[in-house]
Amino acid sequence: MLSILIVFYNRSSATIRLVESLLKYPIEGAFEILIYDNASHPEEFKKLDVNLKNTGSSIISIYHGNKNTGYGTAMNRLAIQAKGKHFMLLNNDTFFKENKLKEFYNEYLKRGASQILSCRVVNQIGAVQNKGCYFHLLSSKIKELVSLFFPNVFKPDYYPACCWLISQHNFFHINGFDETYFMYGEDADFALRAKKKGIRNLLSGEGEIVHDYSKTNQICLFRYLLLHFQGKKLFMRKNCTGIVRILLWTVSLMHSLLRIATLTGGKKHRALVKLYVRGW
């Protein structure tokens, strides 16, 4: 049995679209859909609840949190409730088209379900969004730099967790997500701990999922970048020491500030930089 785990926060329309795609293009065999509401706005939660009840499906379960605990903590809570021998972890702003879900799951089973299998992630027009990520470690950053000029020399360390397949046994063997992370960085941390236990993160050759980034204003963009950097900082604190940690922190901070600079201007730019440095 497959347990599909989804964390929901204030994006009811996107979550409804995802669930509809799961029901429209189901896998072969039994599955359940578990959704954790991370203390969304009451109107958003009500919209989700009403729409999912209208599907008439008995395989959907919704769990409601009293506060936003972050992504990893919510996923861990869903994993405890899940009945399946295999887990599919999904971002709620994704959805499947046609038979890509079935193909993805069948490939995972054919491979023996011994590793973490990631789905190929594309945008709405079919362009690949992310070809893989590297850990925030010195050795990985060197590989990432080399890959800019020689793309096929190194394979990525891991793939983003917006669509992962993993066995229940492996999930708990890795001890789930580190709940110290609020959002961003928890997938890199999980993948690194998995790698140390001999569990690799592989990319599917069959499965494909659409990731629909929402349009956002600049203050939301700032929060997104800040959370990203805080996740990187925590990862480096756990896994790097001394001058290497300082070097990687500095590079990550400068990279994030440059992203802010390219997307903002004038006084607003300076104000966001000050806020960012305080958050750092």
| Residue span of the structural domain in which 153 resides | 2-211
Written as tens digits, the pLDDT of the chain (280 aa) is 999 999 998 888 999 999 999 999 988 889 999 999 998 999 999 999 999 888 888 999 999 888 999 999 999 999 999 999 999 999 999 999 888 999 999 999 999 989 999 998 988 777 787 778 888 787 887 887 788 788 778 888 899 888 999 999 999 999 999 999 988 889 999 999 999 999 999 999 888 899 886 544 444 666 777 787 788 888 888 887 788 777 776 776 776 666 656 555 544 444 544 444 444 4
Examine the domain organization and report whether 81 and 120 are in the same domain.
yes
Orientation angle between helical segments 266-279 and 218-239, nearest 10 degrees: 30
Total domains in the fold of the chain: 2
Q: What are the tokens at 162?
A: 């917006």
Domain end marker among 211, 227, 253: 211
Please tell me the distance from the alpha carbon of residue 133 to that of residue 32, in angstroms, as a whole number. 30
Examine the domain organization and report whether 23 and 136 are in the same domain.
yes
Please tell me the distance from the alpha carbon of residue 132 to that of residue 122, in angstroms, as a whole number. 12
CB 163, CB 118: distance < 8 Å = yes
Examine the domain organization and report whether 52 and 148 are in the same domain.
yes
Please tell me the distance from the alpha carbon of residue 3 to that of residue 1, in angstroms, as a whole number. 7
Examine the domain organization and report whether 161 and 69 are in the same domain.
yes
**Where do runs of H (alpha helix) occur along the chain?**
12-24, 42-54, 71-81, 100-110, 138-149, 168-173, 186-196, 218-239, 242-263, 266-279
Examine the domain organization and report whether 192 and 77 are in the same domain.
yes
